[in-house]
């Protein structure tokens, strides 16, 4: 108070309220009141919201990373090391041409002779931007396959796959990917329909969650329903993946009694190795030894183990693998010129005493001179000369 207040005992009004000093305890900061919203006005929802925030902060403190998707659970072995995705037979020639790099626009012509898988002629085109990815393929029998990916943001990707093959039923697949900081969710449906009085088709949902920076577990559920009074089928699979950096181990237990385990190892900067084991329990019919009539079923355990390696040289990539069924396979991609590569694939079946061979040429052409120089490694994406490259 002022001296006049002390003398007279009469309070003097304060003209400016901002000059009023409110005493506070030392070291104590007043907490702002909670917002009067749906999650804070109700005590139950307010408690659940606080629990969710606490769990989220704890998950961030663990330093978890995104584990990828179940579809790519063992891609380091099945796609990178093994040559199943690259093997072919007969004679093959590929002509690839790039018209632009940003956005990416490429076309490809493939000619094949003596192959049981590849068509005599196939044309494919690819167009990709930061948000879109469009690819289409058509062969000489007018069989078409294509896919479209659209990224809504860095976490959400919608995918559509379509296949119209000659002499085969049509196929359409709708898929949605959600990639969070420490888990991933994938939802897909194959040939969905509501015209038969309910849902028919195949629906698959999967979740892969990181528990530590290296270890992740997940599950995949599948629902299948055929049109008509046929009862639906459901299957659940459980997966696990451990990534130690220079080696990765994964396992998948399927509902029908199958176990798939794989192991990938980075041996050196140029060498990778992988092994995969598949074990499945099946029911086989049992026949009477005298009459030959079926009398029941018995459980049989069947398995297969495949081991492979990948070698990367300066101008060549070699893949080789061996399995317990007696098959020895090899695939070699050798670049003989900056725009020309030779492809060789071979397989020997020791048990069946048979072999298969494939030989191919791959040509790469550019739509303009700058792209051609980039393909030859003479300039970078900005048109600047690459250090150490021959002068042009």
- Tell me the CATH number of domain 70-375, given options 3.90.1300.10, 3.60.40.10, 2.40.160.10, 3.20.20.140: 2.40.160.10
DSSP at 79:
I
326: left (phi over 0), alpha (psi -120 to 50) or beta: left
Report CA torsion sign: 185, 242, 240, 306. Answer: positive
Helix or strand or coil: residue 30? Answer: coil
Residue whose C-alpha is closest to residue 11's, from 2, 20, 19: 2
Helix (H) or strand (E) segment spanning residue 279: strand 271-287
Q: Please give the DSSP secondary-structure letter assigned to residue 345.
A: E
Q: Can you give the pTM of this predicted structure? A: 0.76
**What's the pLDDT score for residue 299?**
75
DSSP 5: H
User: In this predicted structure, what is the pLDDT of residue 361?
Assistant: 95
Q: What span, in angstroms and rounded, lies between the C-alpha atoms of 302 and 248?
A: 25
pLDDT 10s per residue in the chain (392 long)? 444 444 444 444 444 433 444 444 444 444 444 444 555 666 777 777 777 788 777 777 777 889 999 999 999 999 999 999 999 999 999 999 988 877 889 999 999 999 888 899 999 999 999 899 999 999 999 999 999 999 999 899 999 999 998 888 899 999 999 999 889 999 999 999 888 778 889 999 999 999 999 999 999 999 999 888 888 899 999 999 999 989 999 999 987 778 999 999 999 999 999 999 999 887 777 777 777 677 777 777 889 999 999 999 989 999 999 999 999 999 999 999 888 999 999 999 989 889 999 999 999 887 655 555 665 555 555 556 666 555 54
Q: Is the peptide bond before 190 cis (omega within 30 degrees of 0)?
A: no
Closest by Cα among 158, 105, 152, 91 to 342: 91
Tokens 């490259």, residue? 389
Surface-to-core class of residue 321, CB atoms within 10 Å of its CB (0-12 exposed, 13-18 middle, 19+ buried): buried
Element (H, E) at 264: strand 258-266
DSSP 86-135: T---EEEEEEEEEEEETTEEEEEEEEEES-SSS-SEEEEEEEE-SSEEEE
pLDDT at site 169: 86
Q: Buried (b) or exposed (e) across 219-249, using 16+ Cβ within 10 A?
A: ebebeebeeeeeeeeeeebebbbebeeeebb
**DSSP annotation of 32:** P
Q: Which two tokens stand for residue 3?
A: 């001296």
Residue with structure tokens 């020309």?
340
Read off the tokens for 304.
């297969």
Q: In this predicted structure, what is the pLDDT of residue 18?
A: 39
Q: Which residue has the tokens 């000093």?
A: 21
Distance CA 178, CA 186 (A): 6
Q: What is the rounded distance in angstroms from the CA atom of residue 126 to the CA atom of residue 389?
A: 29
**What is the structure's pLDDT at 60?**
75
Rg (C-alpha) for the chain, rounded Å, is 31
Tokens (6 digits) for 271: 């060498």
Residue 199 to residue 201: CA distance in whole angstroms: 7
The CA-atom distances, in angstroms, between 136 and each of 128, 180, 362 are 12, 29, 20
Domain boundaries along the sequence of the chain = 70-375
Question: Helices in 128-220 by DSSP H: which ranges?
Answer: none
Q: Identify the sign of the CA torsion 18, 19, 24, 28.
A: positive
């Amino acid at each position: 108070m002022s001296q006049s207040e002390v003398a007279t005992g009469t309070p003097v009004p304060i003209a400016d309220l901002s000059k009023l000093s409110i005493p506070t305890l030392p070291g104590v900061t007043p907490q702002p009141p909670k917002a009067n919203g749906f999650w804070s006005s109700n005590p139950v929802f307010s408690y659940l919201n606080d629990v969710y925030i606490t769990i989220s902060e704890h998950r961030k403190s663990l330093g978890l990373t995104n584990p990828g998707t179940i579809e790519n659970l063992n891609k380091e072995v099945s796609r990178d090391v093994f040559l199943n995705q690259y093997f072919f037979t007969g004679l093959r020639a590929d002509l690839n041409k790039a018209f632009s790099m940003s956005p990416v626009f490429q076309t490809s012509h493939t000619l094949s002779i003596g192959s049981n898988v590849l068509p005599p002629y196939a044309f494919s085109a690819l167009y990709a931007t930061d948000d879109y990815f469009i690819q289409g393929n058509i062969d000489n029998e007018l069989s078409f396959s294509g896919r479209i990916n659209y990224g809504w943001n860095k976490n959400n990707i919608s995918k559509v796959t379509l296949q119209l093959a000659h002499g085969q039923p049509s196929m359409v697949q709708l898929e949605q990917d959600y990639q969070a900081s420490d888990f991933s969710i994938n939802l897909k449906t194959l040939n969905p329909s509501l015209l038969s009085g309910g849902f028919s088709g195949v629906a698959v949902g999967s979740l892969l969650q990181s528990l530590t920076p290296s270890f992740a577990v997940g599950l995949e559920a599948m629902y299948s329903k055929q049109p008509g009074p046929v009862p639906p089928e459901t299957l659940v699979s459980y997966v696990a993946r451990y990534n130690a950096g220079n080696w990765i181990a994964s396992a998948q237990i399927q509902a029908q009694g199958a176990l798939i385990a794989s192991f990938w190892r980075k041996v050196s900067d140029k060498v990778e190795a992988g092994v995969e084991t598949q074990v499945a329990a099946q029911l086989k019919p049992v026949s009477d030894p005298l009459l030959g009539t079926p009398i029941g079923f018995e459980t049989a355990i069947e398995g297969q183990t495949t081991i492979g390696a990948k070698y990367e040289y300066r101008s060549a990539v070699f893949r080789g693998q061996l399995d317990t069924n007696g098959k020895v396979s090899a695939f070699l991609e050798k670049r003989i010129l900056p725009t020309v590569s030779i492809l060789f694939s071979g397989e020997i079946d020791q048990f069946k005493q048979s072999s298969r061979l494939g030989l191919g040429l791959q040509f790469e052409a550019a739509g303009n001179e700058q792209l051609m120089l980039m393909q030859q490694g003479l300039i970078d994406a900005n048109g600047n000369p690459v250090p150490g490259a021959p002068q042009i």
